């Protein structure tokens, strides 16, 4: 068996030790005679797994006690809609800063529920930048301000937390949570689908300042109510136990590797190597994002002649470098280099890119 270096944007590569542990525990979890995925979510075994996952995530990300943590279904996209139902009155203003594709989906999800306002957008610039916070048109009566911390498709990342005054800042951290230290207290709410940097698809994490849960929000079913989920310990209905368990193993792996400080170091190193290979290619490769806001997680790049794209994808795959095709909205290539991607994977990519350029340049 040989595992490739997998640059998929999500579902993304998982750490090999996590997959091996899951494999070893698959048939008989901790001697109980069944897989964890065959046990009741109400039993002591799974309740223990869930509690450990929350404690480990709190330690990993540095989540203060006055923040609740929820493990939910519906991915990041469902949370994009639920934030309006839970924290905005019907038709209340909500401010959105759009720096790429996922900011656009976020605003689309809340349109039925709030007066969704575009406070700023870099769309005219092809999302190669983030609008300067001094130009944002924020509303005093907004329920929240929403940003996308890292735009997974456009490869644009906030490098500082913007200051937005007294209105709580909500952020989609799906593709960059736990990639570096994060000051949770600057946010009212953070959400993330797990399949980029936290583990498997099928579960999303919501981190919310507890006092915000006192807001009335809008009429909604219990299953769409964050307060009910908190009261029910994220088990209002049968939770995705397998995904929750795998996410928990991934949190333990990240802590054992040295936590977010260590991943910040590795991610800075990996992204520097890759951008240097692109910028130093004499125009053979190019990344079009303003260097000040280039993503450390998702690196879109183009070949100088798109007629070479097919050969690049075929030869890279043959070299054990998987899933480098760019998103269809942008074309070209994209390398997603989340926490699970080792430095050696990026080194192999950079070496391949040099070799390919020498043969086709």
Which residues contribute to the annotated binding site for L-glutamate?
42
- Does position 193 interact with ligand PLP (CB under 6 A)? The reply is yes
Q: What is the rounded CA–CA span in Å between residue 150 and residue 157?
A: 4
- Smaller CB separation from ligand PLP, 277 or 293: 293
Indicate the SS3 state at residue 299. strand
Q: In the annotation, is 309 catalytic?
A: no
Q: What is the rounded CA–CA span in Å between residue 266 and residue 278?
A: 19
Residues 71-110 touching ligand PLP, rule: CB under 6 A, are 75-77, 102
Q: Specify whether the CB–CB gap between 337 and 274 falls below 8 A.
A: yes
Least distance to ligand PLP, CB of residue 293, Å: 15
- Does position 7 interact with ligand PLP (CB under 6 A)? The reply is no
- Smaller CB separation from ligand PLP, 241 or 281: 241
Query: What crossing angle do the helices spanning 75-87 and 101-110 adopt, rounded to 10°?
Result: 50
Q: In the annotation, is 160 catalytic?
A: no
Q: What is the rounded CA–CA span in Å between residue 182 and residue 204?
A: 18
Q: In the annotation, is 222 catalytic?
A: no
Least distance to ligand PLP, CB of residue 175, Å: 4
- Smaller CB separation from ligand PLP, 15 or 200: 200
Q: Under 8 Å CB-to-CB from 111, ≥6 apart: which residues?
A: none
Which residues are known binding-site members for pyridoxal 5'-phosphate? 76-77, 102, 152, 172, 195, 237-238
- Smaller CB separation from ligand PLP, 39 or 98: 98
- Smaller CB separation from ligand PLP, 102 or 352: 102
DSSP codes, 106-121: HHHHHTTTSEEEEEEE
- Token pair listed for 310: 């097919």
Residue entry with tokens 């950079």: 350
- Does position 157 interact with ligand PLP (CB under 6 A)? The reply is no
- Does position 14 interact with ligand PLP (CB under 6 A)? The reply is no
- Smaller CB separation from ligand PLP, 196 or 229: 196
Sheet hosting strand 204-209, strand order edge to edge:
67-72, 204-209, 189-193, 169-172, 145-148, 93-98, 115-121
Least distance to ligand PLP, CB of residue 198, Å: 11
Q: What is the rounded CA–CA span in Å between residue 251 and residue 61?
A: 10
56, 95, 172, 225: the active-site residue = 172
Q: What is the rounded CA–CA span in Å between residue 52 and residue 77?
A: 26
| Alpha-carbon radius of gyration of the chain | 21
Q: Under 8 Å CB-to-CB from 95, ≥6 apart: which residues?
A: 117, 119, 136, 137, 138, 139, 142, 144, 145, 146, 167
Q: What is the rounded CA–CA span in Å between residue 162 and residue 192?
A: 19
29, 102, 244, 253: the active-site residue = 102
- Token pair listed for 144: 């929240």
Give the number of residues in contact with ligand PLP, rule: CB under 6 A: 12
The three-point CA angle 328-330-333 to 5° equals 85
The catalytic residue positions are: 102, 172, 196
Binding site for ligand PLP (CB under 6 A): 10, 75-77, 102, 148, 152, 172, 174-175, 193, 196
């Amino acid at each position: 068996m040989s595992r490739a270096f997998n640059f998929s944007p999500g579902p993304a590569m998982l750490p090999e030790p996590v997959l091996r542990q899951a494999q070893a525990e698959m048939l008989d979890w901790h001697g109980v005679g069944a897989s964890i995925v065959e046990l009741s979510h109400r039993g002591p075994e799974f309740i223990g797994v869930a509690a450990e996952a929350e404690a480990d995530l709190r330690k990993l990300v540095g989540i203060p006690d006055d923040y609740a943590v929820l493990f939910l279904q519906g991915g990041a996209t469902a949370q994009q809609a639920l934030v309006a139902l839970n924290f905005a009155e019907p038709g209340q203003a909500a401010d959105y800063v759009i720096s790429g594709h996922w900011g656009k989906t976020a605003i689309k999800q809340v349109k039925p529920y709030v007066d969704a306002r575009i406070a700023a957008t870099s769309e005219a610039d092809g999302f190669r930048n983030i609008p300067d916070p001094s130009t944002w048109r924020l509303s005093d009566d907004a329920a929240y301000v929403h940003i996308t911390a890292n735009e997974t498709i456009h490869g644009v990342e906030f490098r500082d937390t913007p200051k937005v005054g007294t209105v709580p800042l909500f952020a989609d951290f799906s593709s960059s949570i736990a990639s570096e230290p994060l000051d949770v207290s600057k946010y009212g709410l953070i959400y993330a689908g797990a399949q980029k940097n936290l583990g498997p698809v099928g579960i999303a994490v919501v981190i919310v300042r507890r006092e915000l849960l006192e807001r009335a929000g809008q009429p909604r079913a219990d299953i769409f109510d964050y307060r009910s989920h908190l009261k029910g310990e994220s088990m209002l209905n049968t939770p995705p136990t397998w995904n929750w368990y795998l996410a928990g193993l991934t949190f333990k792996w990240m802590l054992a590797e040295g936590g977010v400080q260590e991943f910040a170091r590795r991610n800075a190193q990996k992204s520097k190597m890759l951008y240097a290979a692109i910028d130093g290619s004499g125009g053979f490769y190019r990344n079009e994002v303003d260097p000040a806001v280039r993503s450390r997680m998702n690196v879109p790049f183009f070949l100088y002649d798109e007629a070479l794209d097919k050969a690049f994808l075929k030869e890279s795959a043959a070299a054990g470098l998987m899933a480098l095709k760019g998103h269809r909205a942008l074309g070209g290539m994209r390398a997603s280099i989340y926490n699970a991607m080792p430095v050696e994977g990026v080194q192999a990519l950079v070496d391949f890119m040099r070799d390919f350029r020498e043969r086709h340049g």
